[in-house]
Structure 1
């Protein structure tokens, strides 16, 4: 009985050591390769922000290869991308209540699905899957919209998310850009 308690105590100590020492070290190491970035927009009482980790292309084929078509992507690296809106917002015609969301995408050659989810997980992929499966809970999706990707002439080395006004009428877009692909999500 003493031996079982001793083994149990050691297992608990190892789990706590991993959680409080190992996990912070892993996060710090992964942020060296894919640094955390933030895009911010503020105008007329509307505040938007998006926090994401920015991986590099490093000569790799990105979409359809590193980021497979037809599979949910955490839209960056490390933790899932976080999107914040201070007020209710229309995203591609769908209502998104004020709050903080995790942002996921399903890239495709001719169409991307952009997903806003009310759960913000600690990490974007599961360790059990070796990084192939995301931590997204589909039951917590708030909205999903479809948008078309665009090809760009210039290569974007580091994954980027920004807020851009692209039209003369002042339309606002949430833009993803990496490699030679750009995706714009209309915001109102």
Structure 2
């Protein structure tokens, strides 16, 4: 009986010590979940030209101008700066950008936005943005469409390459990438 009691105490002590070691703390769901868009968009096509990974903030009754202020560099999404990968050399605003991974920033405006490809990577927000590290910049016109609650990016094929379409609220911006 004494051995059985001792074994029970030993097993319970081991469980008490081991349980905290195996417990996991998971954070709550991010309010601006990460997403990715690529071209071609079909999962069946592995030979991609371009991909962007970004977080999708929601309007939640707020004004777009307060979330992405005009004239200020924006991370183009939420959380980390959007991460753009080109799998082939492409032109943006007449400048050739070599295949590779970059950060993608924008500067919103009422009639046009400036799209920026930066060699800085793994950056949070736009707090450490440095214009000296820009690889390419292009100004693109703003158009309007149906309202989107969540910031979204999608690619469409164009005559000379692919267009990156940004949409949030009723604002639409198309950034052309050519081969």
Same fold (TM over 0.5): yes
Q: Which has the larger radius of gyration?
A: 2
Question: Could you say which residue in structure 2 is the equivalent of 1:108?
Answer: 109
Aligned residues of 2:51 and 2:86 also touching (Cα < 8 A): yes
Per-residue CA deviation, residues 58-87 of structure 1 (Å, 9 max, x unaligned), is 11110x222110000000000000000111
Q: What's the TM-score once normalised by structure 2's chain length?
A: 0.76
Partner of 2:136, secondary structure, is strand
Gap regions ≥5 residues in structure 1: 1-23, 126-133
User: In the TM superposition, what is the alpha-carbon distance from 1:32 to its structure 2 partner?
Assistant: 1.4
Gap regions ≥5 residues in structure 2: 1-24
Aligned residues of 2:59 and 2:149 also touching (Cα < 8 A): yes
Aligned 1:26-175 pairs, distance under 5 A: 28-29=27-28, 32-42=30-40, 46-62=48-64, 64-125=65-126, 134-152=127-145, 154-165=146-157, 169=159, 171-175=161-165
Q: What's the TM-score once normalised by structure 1's chain length?
A: 0.73
Give the aligned CA root-mean-square deviation in angstroms.
2.2
Partner of 1:65, secondary structure, is helix
| Closer, same or farther: CA 111–159 of 1 in aligned 2, 3 Å | same
Per-residue CA deviation, residues 44-71 of structure 1 (Å, 9 max, x unaligned), is 9552110000000111110x22211000
* Structure 1 stretches of 4+ moved >4 Å: 43-46
